[in-house]
Structure 1
Amino acid sequence: MLDMLLLLFALATPSRQSPLPEQAQIGRADAFTRPLSFTTNGTFQVSIFEDLHFGENAWDTWGPQQDINSVKVINKVLDRESPGLVVLNGDLITGENTFLENSTLYVDQIVQPLVQRGLTWASTYGNHDHSFNISGEGILARERRWPNARTRSMVPGRAAGVSNYYLPVYAAGCSDELQCSPELLLWFFDSRGGFYFQERHPDGSQVGQPDWVDAGVVDWFRQTSQRFVARSGRTIPSLAFVHIPTEASQALQTEHGQQASVDRHRQPGINDDYPVAQQAQGWCADGRNDGSCGYGGQDVPFMQAIASTPGLMAVFSGHDHGATWCYRWDRLVPGMTVAGNGVNLCFGQHSGYGGYGNWIRGSRQVRLDLRSLRAERWEAETWIRLESGDVVGDVVLNGTYGRDWYPATPNTMTYCPTCNYTVVTPGPGSFQRKMSPVRRRL
């Protein structure tokens, strides 16, 4: 019996070996020190993988099998897509289900397909990436061992979280970013959540971390965005990535009820997570998190910044595995205090076999055309590439999105016979309603 347990643990522990020989890593390293750029054809594509949830139940055979299947999803998508950047948009690892000594090693498994293809990536961190046995700082340190990683931490301080930064994207041929003005800005935010690393209350319980973009990060975002405008003398179009969506996504989704708010032909996508779980869910306005409040409004400063940033075309989130639609936020939705300015709020596709839900896995793709951006037609084409190879939800996020007609997205399910989807993480909405206040923020 002991031999079997040791074997299972060995299978569950990520390899400490690098996916590529050291010489190959060094040979490619210089390619990742150059700034991101559009292709010579004037396009730039992002592939978004989210909610991979590596590391669940490493002591059972089904846990490592989930991770194997998740790597297959990444490979199947990238066999058909050629992104200039891969975004890992939160919940890379189910941290509360991992051991302190091996939690961040799962990063190596996640990025192996990217390293082997010579692709570069950038991450945001989600609520499951912050826990007692894992920290955002630890994940960042592990990512930064790879020259391919562009993940950064630009806002210091405990309250800020970790993955708050920007990446500029330049026209092809820009070899000196000091002399070139960016054509596109990519903003990354840490919505935090989960628990603080290795911290306990006097009663032994773990110390919960707020689950919204901190006000200090919002100030940094506003100031940095304004500096770019002042320096370049123009508005630079941008995209943003944050794991947990804001209250605006839930307000749009619920305005007219589940069937009428998100139109399957105007905002095609899966709409099974109803209502979606947003930032500051379960918190009180005064900062209490004792189960007595449904939503505290602490994400209002972030929503105000989103809605007042010229050129911000879309914000991409994960967290809610059963939501894959985009919605144009262009008005004041009843019950809210912040009016949208036309920014698109998008969910991706549950990419990993870890975490709750059996929706077919996949990855949202986003493609931009430099000619359109320079003409101030700030629009993006986006679609979801499924692990089956099929494409669903192919839409153009432009001024008429929300009125244009598109084919509905089929609600396809896939199953892993050796996986157990109920042990660790049920869906955000039901999880937060059923669990105790301490556990609600997982």
Structure 2
Amino acid sequence: MGNAPSPHPWRGHSHDHDYGRRIINLRNWPFVTGFRIIRITSSFVVLLLFLFCLSYKQSAIPIWPRPLLETPNSKHPFGPLRFHKDGTFHVSIFEDLHFGENAWETWGPQQDKASIRVISTILDAEPSTSLVVLNGDLVTGENTFLHNSTHYLDQIVSPMVDRNLTWASTYGNHDSDFNLSRSALFSREKRYPNSRTTQMVSSLNDEAGITNYFLPVYPSSCPSSAGARGSGTPSKPSCVPLLVLYFFDSRGGFRFQEPDRRGQENWVHPSVASWFKRATSSSSSSTALFPRGTPSLAFVHIPPNATRGLQESGIHPHRHPGINQDVPASRQAQGWCEDGGQLELRGAGCSYGGQDAPFMQALQETPGLLAVFFGHDHGNTWCKNWGVNNTVRLCYGQRTGYGGYGNWVRGARQVVVSVEGLRERELDTWIRLETGKAVARMRLNESYGEDWYEKVEDERTCLGCG
């Protein structure tokens, strides 16, 4: 969240908070030169356009259109995700890490080391973690060099590798820039057997983003070699998923090696929303990816527009515990107009284009969806009820990294679901801070929003402060 001053004179800023707190020296910035001009015949152009059109028409087709006979999760080196034997599944969410800022100055590498320390401290304090979620803005792409922009991922995941934990990622707006591409970051991530991140929605030039996928979570009794309904034990009921985790790419940022002031669209692509609806709405046992109404959680970096309305209606410190310092809340499609134009390029006109409406509709129509978790606004950490019957919780996490804007205390939201709790559509959550303290302990259930919780204090930390 938050762009540094642009290193490229043809660009404006991304549609979010500006760092505004430091001057970033971007001299010696590496550029790619020497473009080749390729002469091709007009007939070949027609052929290419025809092939592109075919590819585009198929862009919303999921890479995994079949039932759960085989998924990246079931064939994963670490085996399928499963509940612990005590019937719980624990997710630790790290977000807004912002590695790679100003590597040529002392403070840049220092804050990356501090971020690793935060992750390590929290994982040690939460030993029951089943899965780590890296929920966007892993790297501050506009500050990175071409030759090593993806190498920061090695530092980010080192605490999980050291503890033999697996993780799943979404990418944020700062994970795409002139010297950093989502596809390169994904390729770097897939070097690690611990990574469960995958791509389930194909699109031309990855226009729909990369990190759109789901991961089923099975009972503890499900054999590690089976992992999915129909995979070796088609009739065994214990191998039906109890929980599904959805991950979405909210895109944004700038295009790799392209001098483009416009930037990329910053909302979940409509084709992804369509894929999501197909994955969750099928009632046919022969086409369903998993039983209709299976409890689920969703993760995305940039909040949907509904978050702004929830904030404007009031965040109660005891009924929605957390800090509420980023006002107004950011949202997908911020800075865009309905026709696809942009406010900052026009100078006036609109601040929100509504392009995330298909995604929000898909979320609202998903049976079994319990909560949506996002980041992007470093100064917000609350949860609030949303949806037709207020049965879905929209939740911020806690900014984890020492990169990016603001000096709010770093931490990570913890989410624990239990087999018993899923029957009641409830889950437990709290925020583990870098200080070791746990705050905002609450149960997201049918009485959330009415229950009274301890107020969360606005704590601050910074490098070199005490």
With normalisation by structure 2, the TM-score equals 0.77
The one-character-per-residue Cα deviations of 1:254-296 (angstroms, maximum 9, x if unpaired) are 12xxxxx000000000100001110000100010014331100
Pairs within 5 Å for 1:264-279 = 264-279=317-332
The one-character-per-residue Cα deviations of 1:25-57 (angstroms, maximum 9, x if unpaired) are xxxxx9744110000110000000000000000
- Contact 2:409/2:461, CA 8 A, preserved across alignment: yes
User: Residue 256 of structure 2: SS of its match in structure 1?
Assistant: strand
- How far residue 115 of structure 1 moved from its aligned partner, in angstroms, is 0.2
- CA distance in structure 1 between the partners assigned to 2:200 and 2:390 by the alignment: 27
- Contact 1:307/1:340, CA 8 A, preserved across alignment: no
- CA distance in structure 2 between the partners assigned to 1:233 and 1:78 by the alignment: 32
- CA distance in structure 2 between the partners assigned to 1:280 and 1:238 by the alignment: 25
Pairs within 5 Å for 1:46-195 = 46-81=91-126, 82-157=128-203, 158-175=206-223, 176=226, 177=228, 178=230, 179=234, 180-195=239-254
Determine the structure 1 residue equivalent to 2:400: 351
Pairs within 5 Å for 1:379-394 = 379-394=426-441
Pairs within 5 Å for 1:210-225 = 210-225=265-280
Determine the structure 2 residue equivalent to 1:283: 336
- Contact 1:199/1:206, CA 8 A, preserved across alignment: no
Which of 68, 89, 94 is 1:44 aligned to?
A: 89
- How far residue 225 of structure 1 moved from its aligned partner, in angstroms, is 1.5
Determine the structure 2 residue equivalent to 1:317: 374
Give the number of the structure whose alpha-carbon radius of gyration is greater: 2
User: Residue 435 of structure 2: SS of its match in structure 1?
Assistant: coil
- CA distance in structure 2 between the partners assigned to 1:363 and 1:181 by the alignment: 30
User: Residue 359 of structure 1: SS of its match in structure 2?
Assistant: coil
- Contact 1:282/1:289, CA 8 A, preserved across alignment: yes
- CA distance in structure 2 between the partners assigned to 1:228 and 1:241 by the alignment: 24
User: Residue 258 of structure 2: SS of its match in structure 1?
Assistant: strand
Quote the RMSD (CA, aligned, Å): 1.5
Which of 255, 258, 275 is 1:196 aligned to?
A: 255
Pairs within 5 Å for 1:21-32 = 32=77
- How far residue 118 of structure 1 moved from its aligned partner, in angstroms, is 0.3
- How far residue 228 of structure 1 moved from its aligned partner, in angstroms, is 7.6
- Contact 1:229/1:235, CA 8 A, preserved across alignment: no
Q: Note the residue ranges of structure 2 that are not aligned, 5 or more in a row.
A: 1-74
Q: Note the residue ranges of structure 1 that are not aligned, 5 or more in a row.
A: 1-29, 256-260, 331-338, 419-442
- Contact 2:293/2:366, CA 8 A, preserved across alignment: no
- Contact 1:67/1:354, CA 8 A, preserved across alignment: yes
Determine the structure 1 residue equivalent to 2:6: none
- How far residue 132 of structure 1 moved from its aligned partner, in angstroms, is 1.0
- Contact 2:280/2:292, CA 8 A, preserved across alignment: no
Letter in 1 for 2:280: S
- How far residue 233 of structure 1 moved from its aligned partner, in angstroms, is 4.5
Bigger proportion of residues as helix: 1
- Contact 1:199/1:207, CA 8 A, preserved across alignment: no
Determine the structure 2 residue equivalent to 1:7: none
Structure 1's 340 and 306: CA in aligned 2 closer, same or farther, altered over 3 A? farther
- CA distance in structure 2 between the partners assigned to 1:297 and 1:404 by the alignment: 33
- How far residue 235 of structure 1 moved from its aligned partner, in angstroms, is 1.5
Determine the structure 1 residue equivalent to 2:294: 236
Letter in 1 for 2:91: V
- Contact 1:196/1:206, CA 8 A, preserved across alignment: no
- CA distance in structure 1 between the partners assigned to 2:454 and 2:144 by the alignment: 41
Determine the structure 1 residue equivalent to 2:354: 297
Determine the structure 2 residue equivalent to 1:365: 414
Determine the structure 2 residue equivalent to 1:9: none
With normalisation by structure 1, the TM-score equals 0.81
- Contact 1:318/1:348, CA 8 A, preserved across alignment: yes
- Contact 1:132/1:206, CA 8 A, preserved across alignment: no
- CA distance in structure 2 between the partners assigned to 1:314 and 1:161 by the alignment: 22
- CA distance in structure 1 between the partners assigned to 2:221 and 2:317 by the alignment: 41
Identity %: 56
- CA distance in structure 1 between the partners assigned to 2:194 and 2:342 by the alignment: 39
- How far residue 95 of structure 1 moved from its aligned partner, in angstroms, is 0.4
Structure 1's 70 and 244: CA in aligned 2 closer, same or farther, altered over 3 A? same
